[in-house]
Amino acid sequence: MCGIVAYIGKKEAYPIIVKGLKRLEYRGYDSAGVALLNNGDLNIYKKQGKVANLEEHAADKNRSGHAGIGHTRWATHGAPNDVNAHPHYSEDCNIALIHNGIIENYDAIKQRLVGNGYIFKSETDTEVLTYLVDDIHKNAGVSVAEAVRLALQQVVGAYAIVVISKDNPDQLIAARKSSPLVLGIGKDNDFFLASDATPIVEYTKKVVYMEDEEIAIVDLNEGLKLYSIDEVEKTPYVQELELQLEALEKGGYEHFMLKEIHEQPRSIKDCFRGRLNAEEGWVSLGGIKDYEEKMIKANRIIMIASGTSWHAGLVGEYLFEDLARINVEVEYASEFRYRNPIITENDIVIAISQSGETADTLAALELAKSKGATILGICNVVGSSISRITDAGSYTHAGPEIGVASTKAFTAQVTVLTLMALSLAKRKGTISETKFRTMLSELEAIPQKVQQILDKNEEIKIISEKYQDASNALYLGRGSSFPVALEGALKLKEISYIHAEGYPAAEMKHGPIALIDEEMPVFVIATSGTSYEKVVSNIQEVKARKGKLIAIVTEGDDQVDNIADHTIEIPDTDEHLVPLLATIPFQLLSYHIAVMRECNVDQPRNLAKSVTVE
Ligand code: F6R
């Protein structure tokens, strides 16, 4: 994880870097630091904690300079403290370096450098890389840029780095492998570097997404030069950013998470815009159209993902199997890649990822690709690593998701999976024309139904008050509502730190029922449909043990209402689409409970949004 930002040009670097670091804090907030070049001095300030701590620390110091690098850290090697914070720098303070990723062979390199007389201040792998560059620069008598290139040839692992040095005050050196790095070309002969485009967008829309094992040298006199790690000069592919600045701001909401929950009527609509027409009766995902025949004929489809995206995959499994009768397996990326999985050329692997940068998902995809499978992606971040290595895919178009807890990305992923399932079912002939058209109309109506649920915010807040002091919670659902239960539990635990578990409702009696007493809130999805009566029985079992029951029900339900402590009604819809609605009250409940417990909703402890380490 970690976020990196750098600037070189005519403007003051510090405000640009600090603002950029705040945008990247979702990537980690264990410490923050900057290095600024000013009249031959390299001033380095770093501080444990958030960017605000760094600002306070640097407030009375010299923050001038037209070139600088900045970092916000999610600790991997070494505790989150001032010393381990980036930038790291050479003993003579000539070279400073920021890094996102992990240098796996750092220990062997460190032993060698210790032998050469280097004394390490920190416990980080990044300081090892910094000293390695310094060592090569001095002993081989090469430029810092060349030393970076040679050092990276010795490195095993993942990196996005930016290097600044007093030797070349008009130059920044950047490189990446497996960790993202975007380069912005300013209007004023200036350059920006960042882990994603958000720190760059207000200055320029011209960007280059750097590829693996590329090194960029941005020089105020010579402009941008791009090389492969083995020194072949490359032509930069300059793209126009579509990102809008407003999408990165809170827009009057107290937290990004709340804003993103409320954006869902729009984000779901954006997701199916131009891809579905209920009146004319068609659905079409341009990105995967050429692969649909292959998907229908595939041995099986394997969906790989992590966290919330994995939950979306589980919903996808129900949709693909029931509507298109295609065999689907859903795998945790982190488990799949280390299991020596049996993959053939007849398999299709779909990676689901909001960020498109999750290290485990990327590695699992690479493994599947190496075994000949067709690899597809469902990503939110345009130009992300996963979207670039896949054969084809569909973007979710949810817009930037900044709150660390995923909300609108989840509903957009489920929307794309629904569109895919419908399109495949139609092509394969496993869905009747009437059912197909009904589902298209129902899907088109989802944004307005989501809005109806959001309008119950106050009612949900009142229910949340009752459970803000809970220590544990159970979430139950059957069929495609089971992944919604898992997602509800994940939302609660990650932002409110209340221990929560999601279970298939009928599994409760095989163990978790032992936990139920009058203190235990049990959240159940009990909407109308095939398993309604069964869920009602499970609800009775909870009440018989005096559990507190909060049920999501279909509008007009009175059976559950008579038993449950609280019911939250959601509009009626096709059973396949219930996850898109039932998840909304759970998002709001978690949000309110976390706010009442005074937790940091947008940046929960120990978490980062983009998990670029394994
Ligand atoms: C939970 C959450 C995480 C992510 C997971 C995968 O709210 O956000 O569980 O879903 O880290 O991230 P992506 O989707 O970016 O691959």
CATH topology of domain 250-455: Rossmann fold (3.40.50)
Q: How many CA atoms lie within 13 A of 541 on its CB side?
A: 20
Q: Which CATH architecture has domain 456-614?
A: 3-Layer(aba) Sandwich (3.40)
Confidence band (pLDDT; 50, 70, 90) for 55? very high
Give residue 352 CA to ligand 1 midpoint distance, Å.
10
User: In sequence order, which ranges of 549-599 are alpha helices (DSSP H)?
Assistant: 559-563, 578-596
Rounded Cα distance between 168 and 175, Å, is 17
Nearest Cα residue to 454 out of 312, 307, 324, 568: 568
Q: Whose CA is nearest to atom 9 of ligand 1?
A: 307
**C-alpha of 398 from chain center:** 12
Indicate whether residue 611 lines ligand 1 (CB < 6 A).
yes
Indicate whether residue 358 lines ligand 1 (CB < 6 A).
yes
What is residue 303's predicted lDDT score, i.e. its pLDDT? Answer: 98
Give residue 353 CA to ligand 1 midpoint distance, Å.
7
Pairing between β-strand 182-185 and β-strand 171-177 as defined by DSSP bridges: unpaired
> Is the pLDDT confidence value at 611 over 80?
no
What is residue 525's predicted lDDT score, i.e. its pLDDT? Answer: 98
User: In sequence order, which ranges of 182-288 are alpha helices (DSSP H)?
Assistant: 256-262, 264-272
Indicate whether residue 583 lines ligand 1 (CB < 6 A).
no
Confidence band (pLDDT; 50, 70, 90) for 610? confident
The arrangement of strands across the sheet holding 239-240 comes to: 41-48, 31-38, 67-73, 3-8, 191-194, 182-185, 206-209, 239-240
Helix count and strand count (H, E) for the chain: 19, 27
Q: Would you state the structure tokens that stand for residue 373, as one six-digit string?
A: 């499978």
Q: What is the pLDDT of residues 431-452, one digit of tens each?
A: 999 999 999 999 999 999 999 9
Atom of ligand 1 nearest to the CA of 386: 16
Which residue from 195, 304, 354, 607 has its CB within 8 A of the most atoms of ligand 1, so it is best to mutate?
Answer: 354
Q: Do domains 3-247 and 456-614 have the same CATH topology?
A: no
Residue range 55-74: mean pLDDT, rounded: 96
Confidence band (pLDDT; 50, 70, 90) for 213? very high
> Is the pLDDT confidence value at 608 over 80?
no
Residue range 201-209: mean pLDDT, rounded: 95
Identify the weakest region by mean pLDDT among 10-19, 164-173, 567-576, 599-608: 599-608
Indicate the class that CATH gives domain 3-247. Answer: alpha beta
> Is the pLDDT confidence value at 547 over 90?
yes
Give residue 547 CA to ligand 1 midpoint distance, Å.
30
- Indicate the helix (H) or strand (E) that contains 240: strand 239-240
Global pTM?
A: 0.83
Q: What is the pLDDT of residues 481-492, one digit of tens each?
A: 999 999 999 999
Q: In this structure, what is the dihedral angle of CA atoms 350, 356, 360, 362, given to the nearest 10 degrees?
A: 70
609 is catalytic: yes
Which residue(s) pair with 499 in the sheet?
A: 472
Rounded Cα distance between 380 and 370, Å, is 24
Q: Where are the domains of the chain?
A: 3-247, 250-455, 456-614
Do residues 552 and 460 lie in contact, with contact meaning Cβ atoms separated by under 8 Å?
Answer: no
Which residue(s) pair with 334 in the sheet?
A: none
What is residue 207's predicted lDDT score, i.e. its pLDDT? Answer: 96
Confidence band (pLDDT; 50, 70, 90) for 27? confident
Q: Would you state the structure tokens that stand for residue 443, as one six-digit string?
A: 């899907």
Identify the weakest region by mean pLDDT among 245-249, 311-315, 355-359, 514-518: 245-249
Which residue from 304, 361, 404, 406 has its CB within 8 A of the most atoms of ligand 1, so it is best to mutate?
Answer: 406
> Is the pLDDT confidence value at 206 over 90?
yes
Rg (CA), the chain: 26
> Is the pLDDT confidence value at 220 over 90?
yes
Confidence band (pLDDT; 50, 70, 90) for 563? very high
2 is catalytic: yes
> Is the pLDDT confidence value at 107 over 80?
yes
Give residue 266 CA to ligand 1 midpoint distance, Å.
21
Q: Would you state the structure tokens that stand for residue 261, as one six-digit string?
A: 């929950």
Give residue 95 CA to ligand 1 midpoint distance, Å.
35
**Residue 105 contacts by C-beta under 8 Å, 6 or more apart in sequence?**
154, 155, 156, 157
What is residue 134's predicted lDDT score, i.e. its pLDDT? Answer: 98
What is the percent of the chain where pLDDT is above 90? Answer: 88
Give residue 305 CA to ligand 1 midpoint distance, Å.
8
> Is the pLDDT confidence value at 424 over 80?
yes
Give residue 504 CA to ligand 1 midpoint distance, Å.
21
Which residue from 358, 365, 390 has its CB within 8 A of the most atoms of ligand 1, so it is best to mutate?
Answer: 358
Atom of ligand 1 nearest to the CA of 306: 6
What is residue 76's predicted lDDT score, i.e. its pLDDT? Answer: 81
Confidence band (pLDDT; 50, 70, 90) for 62? very high
Rounded Cα distance between 576 and 223, Å, is 54
Residues 2, 46, 177, 493: which is the catalytic one? 2
What is residue 401's predicted lDDT score, i.e. its pLDDT? Answer: 93
Atom of ligand 1 nearest to the CA of 307: 9
Q: Would you state the structure tokens that stand for residue 219, as one six-digit string?
A: 């020089």
Indicate whether residue 355 lines ligand 1 (CB < 6 A).
yes
Q: Would you state the structure tokens that stand for residue 548, as one six-digit string?
A: 């507190």
Indicate whether residue 375 lines ligand 1 (CB < 6 A).
no
Give residue 206 CA to ligand 1 midpoint distance, Å.
28
Confidence band (pLDDT; 50, 70, 90) for 248? confident
What is residue 178's predicted lDDT score, i.e. its pLDDT? Answer: 85
Atom of ligand 1 nearest to the CA of 311: 10
Q: Whose CA is nearest to atom 11 of ligand 1?
A: 307
Give residue 101 CA to ligand 1 midpoint distance, Å.
18
Residue range 548-565: mean pLDDT, rounded: 95
Residue range 311-322: mean pLDDT, rounded: 98
> Is the pLDDT confidence value at 322 over 90?
yes
Indicate whether residue 308 lines ligand 1 (CB < 6 A).
yes
Residue range 331-352: mean pLDDT, rounded: 93
> Is the pLDDT confidence value at 612 over 90?
no
Mean pLDDT rounded to a whole number for the chain: 95
Rounded Cα distance between 325 and 83, Å, is 56
> Is the pLDDT confidence value at 142 over 80?
yes
Residue range 64-75: mean pLDDT, rounded: 95
Indicate whether residue 353 lines ligand 1 (CB < 6 A).
yes
Nearest Cα residue to 328 out of 492, 169, 483: 483
Residue range 457-472: mean pLDDT, rounded: 97
DSSP structure string for 78-99: S-SSTTTSSPEE-TTS-EEEEE
Indicate whether residue 396 lines ligand 1 (CB < 6 A).
no
Rounded Cα distance between 483 and 491, Å, is 12
What is residue 383's predicted lDDT score, i.e. its pLDDT? Answer: 83
231: left (phi over 0), alpha (psi -120 to 50) or beta: left
Q: What is the pLDDT of residues 123-133, one digit of tens each?
A: 999 999 999 99
Residues 22, 110, 493, 609: which is the catalytic one? 609
Which residue(s) pair with 185 in the sheet?
A: 191
> Is the pLDDT confidence value at 246 over 90?
no
Which residue(s) pair with 48 in the sheet?
A: 31
